[in-house]
Structure 1
Amino acid sequence: MRISTVTMFEQSVTSLNRQQGDFTNVGQQIASGRRVVNPSDDPQAASQAVGVSQSLSITEQYTDSRVSARNSLSQEESVLNSVSQAISSAKTLLVQAANGTLSDADRQSVASELEGIYSTMLGQANATDGNGSYLFGGSRDDAPPFAQNASGDVNYIGDSSNREQRIDSSRQMPVSDSGDAIFQSVPSGAGYVATAARDVAGDGNVTFSGPSRLDSSAPGYGENAYRIEFVSDSEYQVVTTAPDGSTSTGSVESYTSGESIELGGGALSITLEGTPDAAGGDSIEINPADGSAGNQDVFASLKSAIDVLKAPVDGDPGRQADVENTIATSMRELDNSLDNVLTVRASVGARLNELDVVDQVSSNRMLSYEQTRSDLVDLDYVEAISEYSLRQVGLQAAQKSFADIQGMSLFDQI
């Protein structure tokens, strides 16, 4: 078979170009550090690498979301720490104010300190995060969640929802808590709180201590409310109110100052001291702390204590009894409010711990994704360098072959 000179040249150039292309591809792989430089190099690996890269990008987005969630929760935890310290300081001042030897000026001084704590807590309740959103306003950001009216009462105008943020593909975490759940709530089963009612113009001076829990398994404990009514200055009866609003009145009992009175069939006890004014309507109410009749507003608890400490006593036993009873009620309510704040703070801490755990899991997942992507498209340098040397030898051989072929001619034999 006759092979023309043109055919030899074309085959030599084709071989040279192929060797040059293979050599260049290996050089590109070494320069880029990737085995799959173009999708055509390995279509299947390239398509799988795209899917892995997408998963890696989504995981990185969740990482950024957790950073934002951690910032919000850290700010909330810091504010709740300040609030718990403020409540503890208020309790300390109330213990001081309960001293019967204090003068009106001393009590007014304590009231001034409590007003400072009151203002501080109100400011903390209206705190904002780094984006200008109110920490405890729920989903409302158009106004501070707690507003003080002309009479000094604080009202919550936020909502009860919590802002949530997706921190992982299968977890959506609350990154805030509503203000009513923190400042206007108490833990479930917080016990009972007693309050005294007295005619300001009357002569009664009954004070109470307690109530104390005797048997939490007694029927109606935590549900029934009780009211001690004085039939006369030496007799009383207990009115029990069930959750459905129905009432039952107990028998008339003899009242002795300093003795404990059992309520709810031995569920509770409360100790009364002093002389009641039955004609003035003196009574003691004992309500579940987490019930609708109980005060769960920490601001209302502080305000009632401030108001009673500002009022002059002037040696009036009845007014002194008002001070003692109001302080006792406020102390119990502040105890419950502090427990609630600490419970919420513990929940925030648990969520921060969960973020750390999810971060660790996400870090391991990202390492797995990166390893998978590396296995698909990254270069094995040992194998690539060997291939590079082989392609270089092949290119040199093609070049030498082409040079030898183009020098072959019959005219050289004439």
Structure 2
Amino acid sequence: MRISTVTMFEQGVGSLNRQQSQFMDVGQQIASGRRVVNPSDDPQAASQAVSVSQSLAVTQQYTDSRVSARNSLSQEESVLNSVSQAITSAKTLLVQAANGTLSDADRQSVASELEGIYNTMLGQANATDGNGSYLFGGYKDDAPPFVQDASGDVAYIGDSFNREERIDSSRLMPVSDSGDAIFNSVPSGAGYVATAARDSAGDGNVTFSGPNRLDSSLPGYGDDAYQINFLDDSTYEVVTTAPDGTTTTTPAENYTSGQTIELGGGALSITLEGKPDVAGGDSIKVNPADGSDANQDVFASLKSAIDALKVPIDGDPSLKADQQNTIATSMRELDNSLDNVLTTRASVGARLNELDVVDQVSSNRKLSYEQTRSDLVDLDYVEAISEYSLRQVGLQAAQKSFADIQGMSLFDQI
């Protein structure tokens, strides 16, 4: 068969180009560390790698979201810690203020300290995050959620919603708690709070201690409200109000100072001391702490105690009784408010722990995705280097053979 010079050169150049192309492809794989440099190298693997990369990007987005959620919850937990310490300090001062040996000046001093705690708590309730958003305003986070009027009363103007962030594909986590739920609420089943009402024109000086729980399993406990009405200075009646508004009144009973009265058929008790107004009109209300008509506002509880401590007693037993009763009520309300803050703080801690767990799961998922993508497109260097050496030998052989063939000529035989 006759082979023309043109054919010989075309085949030689084609072989050189093919060998050089394969040699350069392997070199590019080694330089990039990837087996699939272009989609054409392995279309199926390239397509699967794109899908895995998208999953990795989504996983990273959830990771960033958890960082933001953790920052918000950590800031809230820090503020709630300060609030719980403030309430504890206020309770300590109220115990001190209840000491009957204090003078009016001493009680004024305690009231001043309580005002400092009051202002501190108000500042904590209006705390902001690093971006200037208010932590406890719900979705109304562009303005202080708690505002104080000219009389010193505090009102909540935020909403009752909790801001949420999606920390994983199947988990939407609350990253804040509304100030209404923290500062204006108590835990469900918090018990009862007693308040005293005295005829301002009378001379009664009844004080109470309690109420104390005796048997919470009895029907009506936690739902019924009670009111002890003094008919005169030696008799009283108890009015029980059911949740539907139905009232039941007990027959009049004799009263003596220091007497313990059982309510709700033995569900709870309250101890009364002192002398009621001769003409009657004094009363003690015992309401569920989580009822709609009970005071659940921690700022109102503190303010009532501060206002009571500022009133000079001057040896007036009626004023002293009013002050003692107000302090007792405020202390019970602060106990319930502290329980509520601690419950919310525990919830925040649980969410922080959940973030740690989700982070661990996400980290394992991310490693799995990266391994899958590596198996699809990354390079086996041992195999690639062997292939590189082989292609190099092939290229050198093609070059040598082409040089030898193109040097063959009949003219060399003449």
Q: TM-score w.r.t. structure 2 length?
A: 0.99
Instruction: Give 2:222's aligned residue.
Output: 222
Matches within 5 A, 1:297-376: 297-376=297-376
The alpha-carbon deviation at position 142 of structure 1 amounts to 3.0
Q: Is the deviation greater in 359-368 or in 92-101?
A: 359-368
Which ranges of structure 2 fall in alignment gaps of 5 or more residues?
none
Q: Contact 2:232 / 2:280 at 8 angstroms: preserved in 1?
A: no
Quote the Cα distance in structure 2 between the aligned partners of 1:142 and 1:12. Answer: 77
Instruction: Give 2:184's aligned residue.
Output: 184
Instruction: Give 1:210's aligned residue.
Output: 210
The alpha-carbon deviation at position 72 of structure 1 amounts to 0.5
Instruction: Give 2:137's aligned residue.
Output: 137
Instruction: Give 2:270's aligned residue.
Output: 270
What residue identity is the alignment partner of 2:164?
Answer: E
What residue identity is the alignment partner of 2:320?
Answer: Q
Quote the Cα distance in structure 2 between the aligned partners of 1:309 and 1:133. Answer: 36
Instruction: Give 2:126's aligned residue.
Output: 126
The alpha-carbon deviation at position 411 of structure 1 amounts to 2.0
Which ranges of structure 1 fall in alignment gaps of 5 or more residues?
none
Matches within 5 A, 1:9-408: 9-279=9-279, 281-408=281-408
- Secondary structure of the corresponding residue to residue 208 of structure 1: strand
Number of aligned residue pairs: give it: 414
The alpha-carbon deviation at position 384 of structure 1 amounts to 0.4
The alpha-carbon deviation at position 2 of structure 1 amounts to 2.0
Instruction: Give 1:413's aligned residue.
Output: 413
CA RMSD of aligned residues (A): 0.8
Q: Contact 2:205 / 2:276 at 8 angstroms: preserved in 1?
A: yes
Quote the Cα distance in structure 2 between the aligned partners of 1:201 and 1:137. Answer: 43
Quote the Cα distance in structure 1 between the aligned partners of 2:163 and 2:284. Answer: 41
The alpha-carbon deviation at position 200 of structure 1 amounts to 2.5
Quote the Cα distance in structure 1 between the aligned partners of 2:11 and 2:245. Answer: 104
The alignment-based identity, stated in percent, is: 86
- Secondary structure of the corresponding residue to residue 134 of structure 2: coil
The alpha-carbon deviation at position 278 of structure 1 amounts to 5.0
Q: Contact 2:193 / 2:333 at 8 angstroms: preserved in 1?
A: yes
- Secondary structure of the corresponding residue to residue 27 of structure 2: helix
What residue identity is the alignment partner of 1:333?
Answer: E
Per-residue CA shift, 1:186-208, capped at 9, x if unaligned? 00000000000012331000000
Quote the Cα distance in structure 2 between the aligned partners of 1:113 and 1:95. Answer: 13
The alpha-carbon deviation at position 280 of structure 1 amounts to 5.1
- Secondary structure of the corresponding residue to residue 196 of structure 1: strand
Quote the Cα distance in structure 2 between the aligned partners of 1:188 and 1:343. Answer: 11
Q: Contact 1:212 / 1:268 at 8 angstroms: preserved in 2?
A: yes
Quote the Cα distance in structure 1 between the aligned partners of 2:218 and 2:260. Answer: 18
Quote the Cα distance in structure 2 between the aligned partners of 1:263 and 1:234. Answer: 18
Q: Contact 1:34 / 1:378 at 8 angstroms: preserved in 2?
A: yes
What residue identity is the alignment partner of 1:352?
Answer: L
What residue identity is the alignment partner of 2:160?
Answer: S
- Secondary structure of the corresponding residue to residue 270 of structure 1: strand
What residue identity is the alignment partner of 2:362?
Answer: S
What residue identity is the alignment partner of 2:170?
Answer: S
Per-residue CA shift, 1:193-226, capped at 9, x if unaligned? 0000012331000000000111101110000000
Q: Contact 1:198 / 1:280 at 8 angstroms: preserved in 2?
A: no
Per-residue CA shift, 1:234-285, capped at 9, x if unaligned? 0000001110112111111111111110101111100000000152510000
The alpha-carbon deviation at position 405 of structure 1 amounts to 1.1
- Secondary structure of the corresponding residue to residue 232 of structure 1: coil
